[in-house]
């Protein structure tokens, strides 16, 4: 593997996430306190958490937790689940286990950077762009054209970071059929599944519908609990799972035991947590839409299909990079300029920015954004 480049998005967040007054670009839903999570626990779960032994835990993840995770799928059992320290570790393990220098990978652009830079560090990779003129959707014919005899992995992510797109189900089925025909694994980053406006229709998990599918999920986003650092991959392929388990020995070795107990409590209450987070999206989206309707000359807005993110266009003369820079430096409002999402595998739109609407307290941030724009117009 060649040296990995800086992770632009995470580098930007390292600088600003805890410094900016108004975080308006988060991809995670509003979190809750440890106290509030423990209030959902049964007496036995509370005792198990407080009395737990703080030694190493099983690399695969606690057996009862894997069983609970399996119930979030239609067809999976605990044996098909491998836990990770967040989604990021799962992305690393999947790419390093499935790819070698002779393989080829296909990724969509724009993307969460590790989905691109990890395959690129290992082997040849082709980017297939999502098309803004087609609702940011994926053209399956373009994927077919990118396939080579040595293509081993296709990575997708719906709802998609940063556009919030959900692939139409007929295209999802066509993609699976295509990959099945060529023996290609699909790593589906499904970490925003369940999040969006209430009653949003999400795709079936890839592990349930494809024998070479790797379903990546985590507590970080739809559940709003990134501090737990518990993620997992569900997969029907026992050999791939076992190789990733051995890769994990080089990474975190095992999960944090207390986090495993807390994740079990959260997943036992998953419907309530997801309903609460979707309700936050329901409340926030119309506020953003009202904001954009005040500035038709500055922004092009399209309502996303799912998640708590969107990727609108900024039309001001100074460009989106400068707009976002001044916004955070002068007014403390953090957005992500689309340049963070630039790809080495093809052009990405230069005039977009990511916003997030899964957090509470949006009004104060929108007021600061309004004030910033008015000040600059005066």
Ligand X SMILES: Cc1ncc(COP(=O)(O)O)c(C=O)c1O
Q: Which is nearer to ligand X, 96 or 161 (CB)?
A: 161
Task: Considering only the stretches 57-65, 85-93, 138-146, 263-271, report the one whose residues sit in contact with ligand X under the rule CB under 6 A.
Answer: 85-93
Closest to ligand X by CB, 231 vs 306, is: 231
The reply to whether 218 sits near ligand X by the rule CB under 6 A is yes
231 lies in the binding site for ligand X (CB under 6 A) = yes
Q: Which range touches ligand X (CB under 6 A), out of 53-61, 122-130, 218-226, 277-285?
A: 218-226
What's the token pair of residue 355?
């916003």
Under the criterion CB under 6 A, does residue 112 sit at the interface with ligand X?
yes
Answer yes or no whether residue 61 interacts with ligand X by CB under 6 A. Answer: no
Q: Please spell the DSSP secondary structure of 189-231, one letter per residue.
A: E-TTTT-SSTTPPPPPPHHHH-TTEEEEEESSSSS--GGG--E
Q: Does 155 bind ligand X (CB under 6 A)?
A: no
Residue closer to ligand X by CB (options 190, 245) is: 190
Asked if 86 touches ligand X (CB under 6 A), the answer is: yes
Of 23, 24, 25, 27, which one interacts with ligand X (CB under 6 A)?
27
Examine residue 163 and tell whether it contacts ligand X (CB under 6 A).
no
Cα distances (Å, whole numbers) of residue 362 to 160, 236, 284, 288, 355: 22, 41, 7, 9, 11
- List 83's β-bridge partners, or say none: 232
- Candidates 103, 220, 222, 331; binder of ligand X (CB under 6 A) is 220
195 touching ligand X, by CB under 6 A:
no
Minimum CB separation of residue 293 from ligand X in Å reads 28
157 binds ligand X per the rule CB under 6 A: yes
Q: How far apart are the first and last CA of the chain?
A: 52
DSSP one-letter string for 308-321: TEE--EE--TT-HH
Q: Does 95 bind ligand X (CB under 6 A)?
A: no
Q: Are 190 and 206 in contact (CB under 8 A)?
A: yes
Cβ-based nearer residue to ligand X, 213 or 231:
231
Interface residue with ligand X among 68, 88, 255, 307 (CB under 6 A) is 88
Alpha carbons 167 and 183: distance in angstroms, whole number: 21
Any residues with CB less than 8 A from the CB of 64 and at least 6 apart, and which?
Answer: 264
Q: How far is CA 152 from its chain centroid? A: 22
Residue 118 as a binder of ligand X (CB under 6 A): the answer is: no
- Among 194, 196, 213, 226, the residue binding ligand X under the rule CB under 6 A is 226
Contact between 299 and 377 (Cβ < 8 Å): no
Q: Which helix (H) or strand (E) holds 124?
A: strand 124-129
Out of 161, 255, 259, 263, the only residue in the binding site for ligand X (CB under 6 A) is 161
Q: What is the C-alpha to C-alpha distance for residues 268 and 262, in angstroms, rounded to an integer?
A: 10
Site string for ligand X, 303-332 (x = CB under 6 A): ------------------------------
User: What is the H or E stretch that residue 72 is in?
Assistant: none
Q: Could you tell me which stretch among 50-58, 83-91, 117-125, 362-370 binds ligand X (CB under 6 A)? A: 83-91
Burial of 152 (0-12, 13-18, 19+ CB in 10 A): buried
| 172-191 binders of ligand X (CB under 6 A) | 189, 191
Please state the closest distance from residue 205 (CB atom) to ligand X, in A. 15
Q: Is 365 helix (H, G, I), strand (E, B) or coil?
A: helix
CB-closest chain residue to ligand X: 86
Contact 292, 13 (CB under 8 A): no
* 313/337 Cα distance (integer angstroms): 10
- Name the one range near ligand X by CB under 6 A: 84-92, 126-134, 194-202, 370-378: 84-92
What three-state secondary structure class fits 273? helix
> Applying CB under 6 A, which residues contact ligand X?
27, 86-88, 112, 157, 161, 189, 191, 218, 220, 226, 231
């Amino acid at each position: 593997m060649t040296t990995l480049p800086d992770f632009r998005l995470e580098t930007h967040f390292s600088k600003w996430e805890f410094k900016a007054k108004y975080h308006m670009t988060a991809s995670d839903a509003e979190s809750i306190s440890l106290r509030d999570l423990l209030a959902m626990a049964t007496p036995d779960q509370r005792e198990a958490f407080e009395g737990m032994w703080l030694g190493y835990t099983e690399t695969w993840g606690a057996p009862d937790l894997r069983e609970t995770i399996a119930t979030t799928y239609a067809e999976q059992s605990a044996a098909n689940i491998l836990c990770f320290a967040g989604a990021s570790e799962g992305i690393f393990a999947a790419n390093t286990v499935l790819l070698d220098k002779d393989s080829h990978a296909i990724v969509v652009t724009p993307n969460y950077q590790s989905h691109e830079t990890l395959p690129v560090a290992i082997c040849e990779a082709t980017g297939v762009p999502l098309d803004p003129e087609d609702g940011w959707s994926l053209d399956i014919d373009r994927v077919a054209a990118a396939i080579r005899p040595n293509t081993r992995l296709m990575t997708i992510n719906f709802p998609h970071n940063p556009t919030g797109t959900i692939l139409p189900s007929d295209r999802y089925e066509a993609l699976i059929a295509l990959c099945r025909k060529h023996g290609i694994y699909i790593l589906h980053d499904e970490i925003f599944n369940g999040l969006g406006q209430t009653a949003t229709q999400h795709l079936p998990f890839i592990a349930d519908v494809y024998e070479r599918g790797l379903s990546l999920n985590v507590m970080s986003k739809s559940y709003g609990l990134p501090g737990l650092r518990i993620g997992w991959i569900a997969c029907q392929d026992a050999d791939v799972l076992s190789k990733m388990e051995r890769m994990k020995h080089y990474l975190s070795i095992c999960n944090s035991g207390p986090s495993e107990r807390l994740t079990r409590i959260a997943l036992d209450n998953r419907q309530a947590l997801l309903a609460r987070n979707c309700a936050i999206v329901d409340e926030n989206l119309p506020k953003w839409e009202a904001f954009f309707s005040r500035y038709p000359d500055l922004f092009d807005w399209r309502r996303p299909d799912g998640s708590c993110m969107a990727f609108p266009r900024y039309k001001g003369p100074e460009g989106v990079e400068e707009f976002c820079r001044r916004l955070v430096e002068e007014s403390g409002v953090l957005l992500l300029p689309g340049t963070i999402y630039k790809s080495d595998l093809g052009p990405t739109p230069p005039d977009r920015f990511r916003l997030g609407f899964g957090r509470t307290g949006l009004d104060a941030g929108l007021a600061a954004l309004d004030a910033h724009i008015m000040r600059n117009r005066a």
